[in-house]
Amino acid sequence: MYMLGGCDTAGRPCPGMALYSPEGDRWISLPPMPTPRAGAAVAVLGKQILVVGGVGEDQSPGTDTT
């Protein structure tokens, strides 16, 4: 299982990625995504994980941009 993006404690999108190891019952940090994302959709295509949509740093989920 992978964890991709999300929000930090201030509600800002973050680039973090981690892999859960059931054998070790722990999360293993992976290199961050190039662009922070929150609320994104994720799909697997072959050996790639695709993260699309959601919001970026300039579109924080807790910020009204209208």
Instruction: pLDDT tens for the chain, 66 residues: list them.
Output: 999 999 988 888 999 999 999 999 999 999 999 999 999 999 999 999 999 999 988 875 555 555
Q: How far apart are CA 56 and CA 37, in angstroms?
A: 5
Q: How far apart are CA 36 and CA 4, in angstroms?
A: 9
Give the per-residue pLDDT at 23.
95
Q: pTM here?
A: 0.74
Report yes or no: 28 and 19 within 8 Å, Cβ to Cβ. Answer: yes
Residue type, 12: R
Give the per-residue pLDDT at 66.
54
Give the per-residue pLDDT at 30.
96
Give the per-residue pLDDT at 49.
93
Q: How far apart are CA 43 and CA 31, in angstroms?
A: 18
Beta bridge mates, 51: 42
